[in-house]
Amino acid sequence: MTEGAATMSKRFDPKMLEALVCPQTRTLLSYDAERQELVSRAAHLAYPIRDGIPILIVDEARPLE
């Protein structure tokens, strides 16, 4: 695999938002591409995306201000 292909495979696919919900509230998430996070406005949490994989663990989420 080329370096460019490896980078592409590590990106989050926004189409995944159709299947993902906040684990705490079961509500929809929004994608913040700049911060590489999935945001739950209902829970006031931002879940990190690492190497293209959303980490939907409440203890790993960043509280929103």
**pLDDT score, position 1:** 44
In this predicted model, what pLDDT tens digit does every residue of 24-61 receive, in sequence order?
Answer: 999 999 999 999 999 999 999 999 999 999 999 999 99
Distance (Å, rounded) from C-alpha 44 to C-alpha 5? Answer: 34
Q: Are strands 62-63 and 53-54 parallel, antiparallel or unpaired?
A: unpaired
**pLDDT score, position 9:** 60
Topology (CATH level 3) of domain 3-63: N-terminal domain of TfIIb (2.20.25)
DSSP characters over 13-32: -GGGGGT-B-TTT--B-EEE
Asked if residue 7 has pLDDT above 80, the reply is: no
In the structure, what pLDDT confidence band is assigned to residue 10 with cuts at 50, 70 and 90?
confident
Contact 58, 46 (CB under 8 A): no
What ranges do the domains of the chain cover?
Answer: 3-63
Q: What is the DSSP letter of 11?
A: S
